[in-house]
Structure 1
């Protein structure tokens, strides 16, 4: 299915914007140069840090790319619950010889300043996570010549995306690694979720704008499946996390296929918001007690995660990963795009009953 967005890149492959230093300019450039859509993650960066990465990326590729923003979160966490969780983490701080972070370090992630930068220096695509931007924000980005994508985890959220005027909805299934992009995260919600294939079908019946499917996608045959379900493209995160250009910590990359970490779970342990990661000691011990308090817990645990990485202890790191993590391939990102495209080509040929082209990318 061709849309104005997918006309920007030859293959229906979008590299997910993974915050925390994973989606670096060299990764986005490699994906875009190979025919996919590379993304930078502005989350947890300053506005100037985002701008410098955009400049660096533009020096690496002349192909279209995207930038992802976090929508500011309403404050609903009880300070008492955060204080109690901090008390429970005191032993972790002692073990890693560090201090806990300040949970009051900020809630809006520099949202307005980042938007101002993106309006002054427009990029081809901007996506939003954790909520829907105001219609006037969408209109301003459109006037700047930018396509707007917004994550949704339910059909109802997709309708809100459509009503805000966005061009594309990213249907994020529960299989996805990292944070679920649900628009509201109340304590009583727990960690619900719908599988990507079912979600794409529901969203397609609810809104009339193109859909990008996300959630556990690691192979070209899975891309073919979500396209057959009605998506215009597939967004892959964990698949690109393992590539040589990814900025992920070496321990994180190795953990994806390490039998010590055979499964993933949705947890609030590291950030206070449901996020899928490999089950390690920290997740097991603290996940059941973590309150719904994002970004308070993200700030609180940041020094612990940094110290664990410095100590070479994967059991204390946030090892974000989707359900397909055991299928990760440590290829260069450009080569991975080519392999995925060839697999997609073969899957489509098999579905149509025609012979493949010998595995070559067309």
Structure 2
């Protein structure tokens, strides 16, 4: 037994797992089927509940519980302050986006996320084993209610300072997100998301040295080599998102799943052109055009998400990867098209082989 496996074993015992393999909570890409498969393999299932109404949160948890006795986490974004609106800029964006999809309605930017307070109440009612946060920290009153209900809290962080703040606020573990990760950057300060990008190789040991609670590594991990490296760096577990997206249980749009297999690390880009929040996706035709110097500057979140909704919906229905919101981490090409339970087991077996 190597010196890192006892740490992983302790983490699994504390949080009800057989393997220190966590599914990343990806909003819009975490159907119950994927979490059921990962949990039944001894890992941790996950739900990105950002866009879900309270009834949908409850229904997701109930469906997962019908399919597995394993553990899972449910994740919420901490809301941003109300965005500053610029009608003239939004008009320029609507004109630009209409060249990539249907005409954008004048009120498209008015779309708002579900009510955060109501979502928090739904999480308490659903009683998942673990609740996780991203884009900031849960309010102290909600943290107290989680602890009173026996629900653990994982806080997603992207810097050492955020990790220290999460520990001080009562988090049971921190999930250190390297800049390699697909999807949205989990920075507490939305404005500094691009300037504050730190790679996982540097972030994990720095966070491990800064806090006393367990550290989960995420971002650019998609095979056993990545899992083993994360543990050697001091993490207690590995969280994987893009690496599970080609599994059949993810039910991903075929064009997106196929594109992942062909995407090298340099084929991804961090931009704000889908939602207004910085996120890493495949560098498609739309992403390249929307980040060109002559393109209009994206609106803030969630205005930009509303403005791009028609284009994104049409792209998904038509299978057009060039206009699709195809989130992808830098290790996308390592994702395997195999059953999620087999993959979860293989990731840990491969890591153990490398760790001796």
TM-score (normalizing by structure 2): 0.91
Q: Counterpart of 1:238?
A: 242
Among 239, 246, 249, the alignment partner of 2:253 is 249
3-state SS of 1:3 partner: helix
Cα deviation digits, residues 205-242 of structure 1 (max 9, x gap) = 22111111001001112111111111110000000111
Q: Counterpart of 2:19?
A: 11
Q: Counterpart of 1:135?
A: 140
1: CA distance between counterparts of 2:201 and 2:65? 34
Cα deviation digits, residues 286-315 of structure 1 (max 9, x gap) = 135434611221122112100112222110
2: CA distance between counterparts of 1:46 and 1:232? 32
1: CA distance between counterparts of 2:202 and 2:194? 20
Q: 1:345 offset after TM fit, Å?
A: 1.4
Compared with structure 1, are the counterparts of its residues 260 and 139 closer, same or farther at alpha carbon in structure 2 (3 Å cutoff)? closer
CA contact (8 A) 2:208 2:215 kept: yes
2: CA distance between counterparts of 1:189 and 1:3? 29
2: CA distance between counterparts of 1:56 and 1:335? 21
Backbone CA RMSD of aligned residues: 2.0
Q: 1:123 offset after TM fit, Å?
A: 1.1
For structure 2, the 5+ residue unaligned runs are: 1-6
3-state SS of 2:27 partner: coil
Q: 1:320 offset after TM fit, Å?
A: 0.3
1:79-158 mapped onto 2 (5 Å cutoff): 79-80=85-86, 83-93=88-98, 95-100=100-105, 102-107=108-113, 109-158=114-163
3-state SS of 1:43 partner: coil
Compared with structure 1, are the counterparts of its residues 97 and 53 closer, same or farther at alpha carbon in structure 2 (3 Å cutoff)? same
CA contact (8 A) 2:57 2:126 kept: no
Compared with structure 1, are the counterparts of its residues 341 and 3 closer, same or farther at alpha carbon in structure 2 (3 Å cutoff)? closer
Q: Counterpart of 2:233?
A: 229
1:262-341 mapped onto 2 (5 Å cutoff): 263-288=267-292, 289-291=296-298, 293-341=300-348
Among 166, 171, 174, the alignment partner of 1:166 is 171
Compared with structure 1, are the counterparts of its residues 124 and 173 closer, same or farther at alpha carbon in structure 2 (3 Å cutoff)? same
Q: Counterpart of 1:360?
A: none
Matched, 1:179 2:184: yes
3-state SS of 1:334 partner: helix
1: CA distance between counterparts of 2:163 and 2:242? 23
Name which of structure 1's ranges 172-181 and 135-144 shifts more when overlaid on structure 2. Answer: 135-144
- How many matched pairs? 344
Compared with structure 1, are the counterparts of its residues 121 and 313 closer, same or farther at alpha carbon in structure 2 (3 Å cutoff)? closer
Compared with structure 1, are the counterparts of its residues 150 and 230 closer, same or farther at alpha carbon in structure 2 (3 Å cutoff)? same
2: CA distance between counterparts of 1:257 and 1:48? 35
Compared with structure 1, are the counterparts of its residues 243 and 83 closer, same or farther at alpha carbon in structure 2 (3 Å cutoff)? farther
1: CA distance between counterparts of 2:314 and 2:327? 17
Compared with structure 1, are the counterparts of its residues 213 and 165 closer, same or farther at alpha carbon in structure 2 (3 Å cutoff)? same
3-state SS of 2:50 partner: coil
3-state SS of 2:69 partner: coil
2: CA distance between counterparts of 1:169 and 1:133? 13
3-state SS of 2:190 partner: coil
Q: 1:264 offset after TM fit, Å?
A: 0.4
Q: 1:258 offset after TM fit, Å?
A: 2.8
2: CA distance between counterparts of 1:93 and 1:340? 43
CA contact (8 A) 2:264 2:332 kept: no
2: CA distance between counterparts of 1:259 and 1:226? 22
Cα deviation digits, residues 25-44 of structure 1 (max 9, x gap) = 01000000001101012111
Cα deviation digits, residues 240-272 of structure 1 (max 9, x gap) = 111110032111101101369961011101011
Q: Counterpart of 2:3?
A: none
Compared with structure 1, are the counterparts of its residues 78 and 312 closer, same or farther at alpha carbon in structure 2 (3 Å cutoff)? same
